[in-house]
Amino acid sequence: MATILSADWVLPVAGPPIRDGAVAIEGGRIEAVGTRDELGAGVEYAGSAIVPGFVNAHSHLEYAVYAGFGDGLEFAPWIATHIERKARIGVPEMEAIARLGAAECLASGITTVGDCSFSGATATACDELGLRAIVYIEVFSPDGTTEQMESRFRAQRERIEGSLSDRVRVGISPHSLYTATLELWREAAALYVPMATHLEESEGEHEWLRSGTGPFAAHEPFARTRLETLAAEGLLSDRLTAAHCVWVDELTIDLLAQHGVAAVHCPRSNAVLGCGIAPLRELLDGGVTVGLGTDSPASAPSFDMFEELRAALFLARARERRPEALTATEALELATIGSARALRLDDEIGSIAAGKRADLAVVSLEGSPFVPWEDPAAAVVLGGSPGRVTATLVDGEIRYERGAFDWHELRQKGAEARDRLLGMPPSRDT
C-alpha cells in the first residue's frame, strides 16, 4: 500500500505548485502527485511545502570541517594550504568528516550529491546515511604518469566497492585543467564512468591556461591542458560536469554546449574565494545544462542549499542589474531538475513526478521571515533554511527528521579530524 505525504503546497517543479497537495509513494518511487482531495491526507505536514530533494551537483563532503582554512588568501596559495593540510589525515578521518558532511546535506533537504572525493570516503558515508551520490574519485597528475592514476582509481574503487550500489555510484574527477595532463584526461575518459572537474574557477587559472603566466605560474601547476584540445580529442561529452565556470568566454560556452558538458554553478564558493560571479545567464542562454552546488565549507561556509539558492538569485540579479535575471522558481529548478540534468540523473530524480524516485524534502514555512503564501517557490527559496527542513526522504525512506537525528558523535569525530588537519593533538573527549 502506498504511503501518502501531504502539505499546504507540493512543488513538483515539473509543473505548477499544487495547493493542498499530496504525494503517493510506493516501493521507493512516486506513484502519484495530486491534491489531498484526490490522494488523501496521509501524513500531514502543516504549514509546509514538499519539494523535490535538492541535488547538490558539486560538493566535497570530505571537507566538511575545513571551515576557514586559508581564508583571505589568493586562490593559488589557498589551494596549496588546502593540499598540505589534507595530507595529514587518513581514510578513517576522511570518512568521519564525510559522514558529518552527508548529515548536513540531508539536514538541508539535499537528497543527492555529485561529490568530488579525494579518498572515496564519500561513498562510505552516503551508503551509511542513505544519501544518493555520484562519487567522483579525484585524480591529479603529480608526475604525469597514467599508471598512478589507474592504480589510484582502482585502489579507491576496490576499497569502496562494498558501499557502491544503484544509489551510490562511482565516477572519476580529473581535478582540473591545471592539475591533470592530457594523458590523464585520456585515461580517465577511457574508464567510461561519470566525470567531474573544476573549470575556469579563478582569474589566475584562466591566465595560466591561456598564457602560462600569472600567480599560478609561481606554484608550478602540474599541467596546462586546453579545453579546445580535450574537445579535439573527443574527450568532452555529456558524461562530464564542470564546476564553477566563472571565467568562461563565448568560445568556452560554445564548447560546453556543443559537447553537452554541464556546468555547476557554485556562487557562494566563487564569491568567498574572490573568484567572481559566473555568467549564469550566458551559460543558460548559450545552451549549457546548469546545476547548482554548494562546494564545501573549505570555501563556501556550509552545505546549506537554501543559502546557495539565495546566493544564486542575489548574485544573478546584481550581476545583470535586473530583478528578472533569476526568479525564485528558476533558482529552485536549478537546484533540483537542473542539477539532476547536470548529473544525468534527470530520468530518475529532480522533480516530483509519477515513476521517479521518491527523493523529497519537507520544508516548514511556519514562522518564516518571508512567507508569500501564494508563491511557495519564493517562500522556500527566500525563507527556507536547514532549520525549517522537517524531513528528508531518499527512495521514499525518511533519512533525516528534525529533532530525531543524533549529531553529537558525528560532530565530535569531525572536530577530532579537524585537530589532526591543523597538526594539533586531539583536544576533545572521545
Measured from the CB atom, is 295 or 304 closer to Zn ion? 295
197-226 residues near Zn ion, rule: CB under 5 A? none
CB of 198 to Zn ion, least distance (A): 5
CB of 296 to Zn ion, least distance (A): 7
165-194 residues near Zn ion, rule: CB under 5 A? none
Measured from the CB atom, is 277 or 352 closer to Zn ion? 277
Number of residues that bind Zn ion (CB under 5 A): 1
CB of 256 to Zn ion, least distance (A): 17
Closest C-alpha to 389, from 398, 403, 402: 402
Check: CB of residue 283 under 8 Å from CB of residue 253: yes
Measured from the CB atom, is 242 or 362 closer to Zn ion? 242
CB of 118 to Zn ion, least distance (A): 11
Measured from the CB atom, is 95 or 295 closer to Zn ion? 295
Query: Which x/- pattern over 291-310 shows residues binding Zn ion (rule: CB under 5 A)?
Result: ----x---------------
Measured from the CB atom, is 6 or 117 closer to Zn ion? 117
- Distance (Å, whole) CA 243 – CA 228: 17
Return the residue nearest Zn ion (CB atom).
295
Measured from the CB atom, is 295 or 308 closer to Zn ion? 295
- Distance (Å, whole) CA 161 – CA 151: 15
CB of 196 to Zn ion, least distance (A): 9
Burial class (CB in 10 A: 0-12, 13-18, 19+), 186: middle
CB of 232 to Zn ion, least distance (A): 26
- Distance (Å, whole) CA 227 – CA 248: 11
Measured from the CB atom, is 175 or 356 closer to Zn ion? 175
36-40, long-range: CB < 8 A, 24+ apart: 36/6, 39/4, 39/6, 40/4, 40/6
Q: What is the CA radius of gyration of the chain?
A: 21
49-108 residues near Zn ion, rule: CB under 5 A? none
- Distance (Å, whole) CA 96 – CA 78: 23
383-389, long-range: CB < 8 A, 24+ apart: 384/109, 384/306, 384/309, 385/304, 385/306, 385/307, 386/104, 386/107, 386/108, 386/109, 386/304, 386/306, 388/363, 388/364, 389/107, 389/108, 389/109, 389/361, 389/362, 389/363, 389/364
266-295 residues near Zn ion, rule: CB under 5 A? 295
State the Cα angle at 90 between 86 and 92, rounded to 5°.
125
Q: How far apart are the first and last CA of the chain?
A: 44
CB of 321 to Zn ion, least distance (A): 28
CB of 61 to Zn ion, least distance (A): 11
Measured from the CB atom, is 113 or 378 closer to Zn ion? 113
Measured from the CB atom, is 135 or 365 closer to Zn ion? 135
Check: CB of residue 113 under 8 Å from CB of residue 131: yes
Catalog residues that contact Zn ion under the rule CB under 5 A: 295
